[in-house]
């Protein structure tokens, strides 16, 4: 019999991932506290769970994708939460990006009840989630990962077993710090170029073919030039990931600088009320600082 799978938290990232697991042919139950978020999945054949508890009651593997540590800890650890409710041998997998201390609390609590837990933060953005090309950074027991692999393969081919729980979210925080710093370097370079009279798309094409290129460049044609800042990846989530990186750095006494600069820009965007916009919106703050406006193209 096919493994029964549940998915809790189907926002910008969870929704396309859940859609790809559903396409994998598993009997599938979905729940989000916002009913609207799960409408398309129910239309595509998922059963609408009445609650998170309903999902865990009807699933052998449960995936969760929530904003941050407090949401995840509440869902898993509160009385009547996922860990208390799950039957022994259930596999709970958290795909959210959280503090490494969160999975380190969840795994032993699950183990006490004979329940398995893996952390599996992902990278690749909403485009990667739609295309099922995500990188998945799994922390936890590799034997449990092998059991969960057929489900995880539906969301991405690059499944990395990176160590014990906590290791997955550590490498995820490193990745996002580097992505954010690349992105800010691109935005500052672009701003200077525009002020110097260059066409932003010329900068894009040239740097893409040169040594300064990175995935961050793709924000130029997809977000910055058309001024499309709907998420995507919200500013407040990027701020949270930089917080995670800086927390780990403090704990390990690693002097870091770039993450602090990157976080300052996310803080400025939060202060400007842009927390629910895509993190590309930071480019508009850099524009203002330089008293320049990127030319808008269709
Ligand atoms: P989002 O805010 O779009 O979605 C979160 C969803 O969780 C919402 O639909 C919300 O209603 C639901 N939710 C929250 N608490 C819940 C609960 N207790 N029960 C049921 N549903 C609940 O956020 P997102 O962009 O999908 O990000 C989710 C996680 O994935 C975050 O940790 C984020 O850092 C990570 N992530 C996001 C991206 C991206 O590009 N958006 C990429 C990689 C990783």
Q: How far is CA 177 from the centre of its chain?
A: 13
Distance in Å, CA 13 to ligand 1 centroid: 6
pLDDT value, residue 1 = 73
Contact 113, 83 (CB under 8 A): yes
List residues with catalytic annotation.
172
Asked whether 67 lines ligand 1 (CB < 6 A), one says: yes
Quickly tell me which residue has 């200077």 as its tokens: 192
Q: Is the CB of 14 under 6 A from ligand 1?
A: yes
Query: Does the beta carbon of 97 sit less than 6 angstroms from any atom of ligand 1?
Result: yes
DSSP per position, 67-116: SSHHHHHHHHHSTTSHHHHSPTT-EEEE-S---THHHHHHHHHHHHTT-E
| CA–CA gap between residue 135 and residue 172 (Å, rounded) | 10
Task: Among 8, 10, 11, say which to mutate for ligand 1: greatest number of ligand atoms within 8 Å of CB.
Answer: 11
Structure tokens at 127: 């485009």
- CA of 285 from ligand 1 middle (Å) equals 25
Reading the chain (298 residues) residue by residue, the pLDDT tens digits are 789 999 999 999 999 999 999 999 999 999 999 999 999 999 999 999 999 999 999 999 999 999 999 999 999 999 999 999 999 999 999 999 999 999 999 999 999 999 999 999 999 999 999 999 999 999 999 999 999 999 999 999 999 999 999 999 999 999 999 999 999 999 999 999 999 999 999 999 999 999 999 999 999 999 999 999 999 999 999 999 999 999 999 999 999 999 999 999 999 999 999 999 999 999 999 999 999 988 776 5
Asked if residue 9 has its Cβ within 6 Å of ligand 1, the reply is yes
Pocket test for ligand 1, best of 17, 18, 32, 179 (most atoms within 8 A of CB): 32
C-alpha of residue 64 to centroid of ligand 1, in Å: 9
* Closest residue CA from atom 31 of ligand 1: 67
The 3-state DSSP class for residue 235 equals: helix
Indicate the top mutation candidate among 39, 40, 48, 65 to test ligand 1's pocket, ranked by most ligand atoms within 8 A of CB. Answer: 65
Assign 207 to helix, strand or coil: helix
Q: Which domains does the chain have, with CATH numbers?
A: 5-164 (3.40.50.720), 170-290 (1.10.1040.10)
Ligand 1 atom at minimum distance from 97 CA: 32
pTM: 0.96
| pLDDT value at residue 297 | 64
């Amino acid at each position: 019999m096919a493994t029964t799978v549940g998915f809790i938290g189907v926002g910008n990232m969870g929704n396309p991932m859940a859609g790809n697991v559903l396409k994998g042919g598993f009997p599938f139950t979905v729940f989000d506290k916002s009913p609207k978020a799960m409408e398309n999945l129910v239309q595509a054949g998922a059963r609408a769970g009445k609650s998170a508890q309903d999902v865990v009651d009807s699933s052998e593997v449960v995936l969760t994708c929530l904003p941050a540590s407090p949401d995840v800890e509440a869902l898993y650890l509160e009385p009547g939460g996922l860990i208390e409710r799950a039957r022994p041998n259930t596999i709970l997998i958290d795909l959210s990006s959280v503090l490494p201390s969160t999975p380190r609390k969840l795994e032993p609590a699950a183990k006490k009840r004979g329940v398995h837990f893996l952390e599996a933060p992902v990278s690749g953005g909403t485009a990667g989630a739609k295309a099922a090309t995500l990188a998945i950074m799994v922390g936890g027991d590799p034997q449990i990962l092998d059991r969960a692999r057929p489900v995880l393969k539906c969301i991405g081919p690059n499944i990395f077993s990176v160590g014990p729980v906590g290791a997955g979210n550590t490498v995820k925080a490193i990745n996002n710090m580097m992505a954010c710093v690349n992105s800010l370097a691109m935005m500052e370079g672009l701003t200077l170029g525009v002020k110097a009279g260059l066409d932003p798309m010329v900068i894009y094409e040239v740097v893409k073919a040169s040594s300064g290129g990175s995935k961050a460049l793709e924000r130029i044609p997809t977000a910055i030039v058309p001024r499309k800042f709907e998420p995507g990846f919200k500013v407040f989530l990027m701020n949270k990931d930089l917080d995670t990186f800086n927390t780990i750095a403090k704990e390990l006494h690693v002097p870091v600088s770039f993450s602090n600069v990157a976080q300052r820009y996310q803080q400025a965007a939060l202060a400007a009320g842009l927390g629910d916009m895509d993190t590309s919106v930071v480019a508009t703050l850099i524009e203002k600082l330089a008293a320049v406006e990127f030319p808008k193209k269709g």
